[in-house]
Amino acid sequence: MSEDDAGLETLLRHIKEERGFDFTGYKRASLARRIERRMQAIGLTEHDAYLDHLMLEPSEFTALFDTVLINVTSFFRDADAWDHLRDVLLPTLLEGRAGRPIRVWSAGCASGEEAYSLAMVLAEALGPEAVRERVKIYATDVDEDALVQARQATYPASRLEAVPEELREKYFEPIGDGQRVVFSKALRRSVIFGRNDLVQDAPISHVDVLACRNTLMYFNAETQALILNRLHFALQPDGVLFLGKAEMLLSHAAYFTPIELKRRFFAKVPDARDRRALFGGSGSVVVRPPHVIDERLHTSAFMVGSAAQIVLDVAGRLVLSNHRAMNLFGLTQRDVGRPIQDLEVSYRPIELRTHLDEALAERRPVWVRDVEVVRGAGDSIHLEVQVVPLQDEDGTPLGSTVIFTDVSQQHTLQRDLLVTTRQLETAYEELQSSNEELETTNEELQSTVEELETTNEELQSTNEELETMNEELQSMNDELQATNDSLGDRQLEVDRLNGFLGSVLGSMNSGVAVVDGDMTVLAWNNRAEDLWGVRRDEAVGEHLMNLDIGLPVEQLRQPLRAMLVDVDSVAGEVELEAVNRRGRPVRVSVTLTRIRDEALTAPAAMLVMVVVDPPTADA
């Protein structure tokens, strides 16, 4: 194993220990590619470094799972297959379940579209009211975030393109501006969402329709076999398994056989194991006969039964044991009436008490298969143990019986069959080699198809992400455009006010100057230009005390400073001797006024300069 592969395995073990996600059964090439994609996103190249990052940043688990668990699905994906389910398979299935409950399992449901598709198909076949009363749809996935989204049952309206128009109007309601829709609340109650790991958790049982679409393709062959064994257990004998386009089960014919291979519908292969009678191989049933002679006959039949059998009362005491049980476990008549826990048979060859408690609590038989009993050097037998609760005709518990069926002959036959099979395989080695090569080719083709399907779904996921980003950018662009329009309107208003203010200042017969708190000139009107010979562009931005004009501005420093500091100051007037731009002496009245505008962040003052003693003509 290379160093990189070892680092990946260590990372997967850490994820399983910390978060309970077992990715070891996923196809390594696809899994490694998605993990590397996440590592590149945060600028890491080594698995060890990424493991350190996970330990320091537990929130990174969420981003990693979003990358690894590709939750790509849609309503009525592969419409032709859904039509076949609705028109051909469901009518036959429902006909055999008239009035009975119907159980449906959507395994690997992602964000819930296929579970709701199943609900719509069943509602069209049975009617919404019958679905609410008879149908339970269990939708499971390993990704909690996807399940949260599925439970909300709200989707973008664009996701409904594959939903027929009549179903769209019947089972969806628009939200707000119609950009999103919500699934029918009445029908939603028939769908139960929950977390289930197909690799580790127990399957849902007695399922009539099992949809597990484009989920198996992410797992390796060994894990696929494990999952298919659980799906085989979950499905009813006449149920329907609905898989995705990339899943053909060519190498798993022992579990399922095709109903319609092109559309990926499969039926369960019946379990060929012997289903023995409730009370074991002897076929004896303990009843209460009306006559003594029947009781003796029954007891004699019980005692000579070929299977070892013991009977316990409700208190767990030994009531009966036949000859086979006595010989096999060393029981005697003195043991009758003793508690089972005091007898060696309670813990050898297996721990019986646990199975007895289970059978009595659940009121059903409990099987324990392939129990080996070693009786001496090289001498052993194989037993099949059945623990059966006993009850009266009215359901009153009477006790329990334990039946030990000797299956050594079957075990020997199985072993001999294995040897014979191996010899046959050796005899036809060349033919088997050819078959294996063909099977390998088929598996490689299947793997290629699955990889292509996975890549397609990844591309679809990327496309959806890009579409989401595009919508976000469009929304930002609209907001920026609205802001730009608003700024343009304000700029026009500012230009208009500036023009109006300039007109006001230019129309005044008095010289006007406006200064800020630092005595920097902010405004300078035409009359001030004419009076002192300084243009507006020369005055604005300059310190008032630095202006070279005929007005003795230094004498204004103290009154101005006092006015700018005191917010409650009133207008003041100062008369000064000055020289106008023609060099003639004039007397000027300067009125100082604090500008009161709460919008200003700094104080300002206005100087109004009026010539009160103009020069004479002779002067």
Q: Which amino acid is at 351?
A: E
Region of poorest pLDDT, from 217-226, 532-541, 564-573: 564-573
Task: Check residue 278 and give its pLDDT.
Answer: 26
Task: Give helix 28-41 / helix 3-19 axis angle, nearest 10°.
Answer: 80
Task: Check residue 274 and give its pLDDT.
Answer: 33
CATH code for the part of the protein at 79-268? 3.40.50.150
Region of poorest pLDDT, from 98-102, 351-355, 435-439, 610-614: 435-439
**At residue 38, does pLDDT exceed 90?**
no
**At residue 535, does pLDDT exceed 80?**
yes
Region of poorest pLDDT, from 78-82, 98-102, 112-116: 98-102
**At residue 289, does pLDDT exceed 50?**
no
pLDDT tens digits, 496-511: 887 777 777 777 788 9
Dig out the tokens for 563 from the structure.
């006015």
Sheet of strand 521-524, all strands in order from the earlier edge strand to the far edge:
521-524, 511-516, 604-613, 585-594, 572-579
Between 251 and 220, residue with greater pLDDT: 220
Dig out the tokens for 40 from the structure.
């590149």
Separation of alpha carbons 540 and 415, rounded Å: 109
- Which neighbouring-strand residues pair with 368? 385
Between 166 and 380, residue with greater pLDDT: 166
Q: CATH number of 3-68: 3.40.1790.10, 1.10.10.10, 1.10.155.10, 2.80.10.50?
A: 1.10.155.10
Region of poorest pLDDT, from 211-225, 403-417, 556-570: 556-570
Average pLDDT over residues 571-595: 88
Q: Do domains 303-375+384-415 and 508-613 have the same CATH topology?
A: yes
In sequence order, the 6+-apart residues with CB closer than 8 A to the CB of 269 are 232, 253, 254, 255, 256, 257
Residue-averaged pLDDT of the chain: 84
Task: Check residue 290 and give its pLDDT.
Answer: 38
How is the chain split into domains, by residue range? 3-68, 79-268, 303-375+384-415, 508-613
Structural contact between residues 27 and 220, judged by C-beta atoms closer than 8 angstroms: yes
Task: Check residue 217 and give its pLDDT.
Answer: 82
Dig out the tokens for 403 from the structure.
């039946």
Binned at pLDDT 50, 70 and 90, residue 183 comes out as very high
Average pLDDT over residues 238-255: 83
**At residue 314, does pLDDT exceed 90?**
no
Average pLDDT over residues 565-587: 84
Binned at pLDDT 50, 70 and 90, residue 45 comes out as confident
Task: Check residue 548 and give its pLDDT.
Answer: 86
Region of poorest pLDDT, from 23-32, 130-139, 225-234, 480-489: 23-32
Class of domain 303-375+384-415: alpha beta
Class of domain 508-613: alpha beta
Binned at pLDDT 50, 70 and 90, residue 4 comes out as low
Task: Check residue 333 and give its pLDDT.
Answer: 80
pTM over 0.85: no
Task: Check residue 241 and give its pLDDT.
Answer: 95
Binned at pLDDT 50, 70 and 90, residue 616 comes out as low
pLDDT tens digits, 433-472: 676 678 777 877 887 888 888 888 888 878 877 877 887 7
State what percent of residues in the chain have pLDDT above 70: 90
Region of poorest pLDDT, from 66-80, 105-119, 183-197, 559-573: 559-573
| DSSP of 523-534 | EE-HHHHHHH--
Q: What is the DSSP letter of 550?
A: S
Separation of alpha carbons 109 and 213, rounded Å: 8
**At residue 288, does pLDDT exceed 50?**
no
**Omega of the bond prior to 365 within 30 degrees of 0, cis?**
no
CA 443, distance to chain mean position in Å, is 30
Task: Check residue 282 and give its pLDDT.
Answer: 35
